[in-house]
Structure 1
Amino acid sequence: MEIRYKLYPYPVMSYYSDDYVNSSFDTTIDPKKDGLNIRIDFLTNLNNVELTKYLTQGKVKFVYHLECAQTGFRTALQTSNSEFTYIISNKKICGRLQICPFIVAIHDIPDYVNSSFHEDYRGFKFLIEAGCVMAVGKQVNIDIEKNINDLSNTPSVFSIIKNADETALGMIVDLDQKKIVIKLPERDYYNYKSIKDEAVIQPVLNSLVVVPALTYVLEELNRRDPSERYEYSSYSWYRAIKKALSNQFQCDVESDQLSKFNMLEVAQKMINIPISDALQALSSGYKSEDEEDTE
């Protein structure tokens, strides 16, 4: 959601208009990594007597609209506090996260006047209905960079293609490529292709396709003598797995440590355990839902 210059039928405090004088609405937005999550700290400074009074009375609230176009994630957070923290799962966002601050009326405000109105509006009263925007802050764009070798970023590690063998009935995994190549029968491939760009369905596809393939790869590595695993070191998928095992499990893939793990459990954890989100997507009929407003 890009904030665009917009005309309202009533005065709105914003950085791009002069509807208000001697007033300001500024929000500092500070994102930080918090494990596998992103922590976003909001610090808002409102300089307007009437709006500050309405905020204290609960008639208006700060609203932060968050949207990530790449994943389809979108939510609106409400708070009455000038300091506010929100933690978002790293799985929900990728690329650019847009954050737009607003002040929004929670209840109807009849006969609204403000001592800081521009002189063009002085002497006028306005009916502000619940849900109306009363102030617009500057949009902040946060670019969420993910490691190209992050296994949860499946396109960087896996390549899903159609199996040229028309007699193939099931999924085949090929390790002798730069990426892990997953070959699907023709019908399965085109079904996969038709839904692969829908963000809400990604956990389902990961659970059905990526987790079994990654489990197979880990089991194949485990079958080999540790000294033989280095043969795959020129492949990016192998370096990604090696890094993930080291960071998440303190395991050296080129040692006997790997045999101590359950490969299915490891595969799921490596891509952020998609089954919970997959079942949620299926049970809700593939419809993504905004998170509930946070007080």
Structure 2
Amino acid sequence: MKFNNISFPHPVLGIADTISGNIEFFDEVLSEKGNYRIKFELNQSNGDINQLLREAKAEYFCEVTCTNTLYREIFTSSDNYISFELPKKHVKGKVEFTCLLISKTAIPQYVNTDAHSDYDGFYFDIEKGDVLVVFGKTSFNADIKYERLKAVSQILVVKPTKEFDIVNVNLEESKITVEIPEEDYENFASNYADDKKYDPVFHSSIVLNALLIALYNIKKHKDKFWAEAIMYRIENEKDTFQNLGIDEPENVPEIAQRLLGKPLSRLFTGLNELEEQFEN
């Protein structure tokens, strides 16, 4: 939901230019045993709103919702830090957070000196719970095991198919699905799939090619589990991805290789190890 498409009967910081001023929104989701630890830092620079905070007439607010489990909870804070634990058993799939600053009490004849000139001469009777600042929304997928995202099996699966006589990459499933003709799949499953020494070979061929196709089409499938998992890694592993933007097509080959941990280097190392085994 885009908050700029919402109108309020009074000026709200963070909605278009109704009030001038800066807002900042930082979030952190940590996965712990049995819980997610959620942290938000909400910053704004409006003098009149800060005065309301000092007078305990306003408070920071975070609403948590999960439509898959009908979970809904509200957390508030008198300062700009909101931190809480979210039991993993209470959520499944997409978990959304809406962060605001709301009135804690009724505020008669509210006026903000940094409001747009369209509001000149107008006063507003603010009721308890009315929105004064919109910081924004964020979400994460509780089905993603973030601590295990580096495992290829978290986002990609290989399956047999009768529909194609060549390899097909299906991006419509929750995981990237590499569909292999039945005869080839039987050979793969029987002789190679469970033997880790062949992983570098498949990562540098089947998996790398599938990832390239997926990354070039990730915008079309941004709501899929595999796309969310990849985007999470790109956004949170700055040292690995060195601020490479997925929106730039020329970055895709490098992003794919970094997702797989330099598969070509691992291929050559793996081939050398296989050659040594055969010689012995």
TM norm structure 1 = 0.47
Structure number with the bigger relative contact order (C-alpha 8 A, sep ≥ 6) is 1
TM norm structure 2 = 0.49
